[in-house]
Amino acid sequence: MTSQERQVHCSDELSLRIQRQVGAVERAVMTSKLDRQIMTARLHAITGNDPKNINEASGAIFYVVMYAAATVGFNIDCPDWRIVRGALNTIYELSAEDDVDGLIRTPILSGLDAIERIKNEMPTSALARGVIDMSMRVRHGNGILGGNFMNLAKGLSPDGNRFVTKNRVLSVCAVKEVVGA
């Protein structure tokens, strides 16, 4: 078995494990939480004056959905993905600021609208993998860094690695950690 075949097997195994373990109620709860996270991020982007709160609220939902999109081979050349990349650049610039300029809110809100449209196209198992990876990074690693977002924006794993699925080379890194491959 080649390295690529092992990675495909790990991805399929994790997807099946997540689908078996995540029932209809859990999927509904997770989707509801993601929707609430988008709403919270929107409220911070509209009314918030603390760049850190805007970054944290937006960053969490961007990470989960971008991770899910990378695992399923989402078209990163589409207009919504370009909007998301622009919003990421704005959020990165905002991290160096002490207060929030009114003009900076628009690209973040546009990015949240685009990320919601992308989220609605993602299978629940892919979103679950994004949540798992984010949780692992926050709990056991050194958190989520700007470079992780930039790699996801390129369609790579957060660490810049490639992951093979049946159809093409895609990005995922949590699969190796969760499955223990």
- Give residue 173's pLDDT band: very low, low, confident or very high (50, 70, 90): very low
d(CA 33, CA 141): 23
Alpha helices in 22-100 (DSSP H): 24-47, 51-72, 79-94
Total domains present in the chain: 1
65: containing domain: 3-179
pTM for the whole thing? 0.73
Phi then psi for residue 146, to 5 deg, are -55, -40
What are the tens digits of pLDDT across the range 34-93? Answer: 889 899 999 988 888 888 888 888 888 999 999 999 888 888 889 999 999 999 888 888
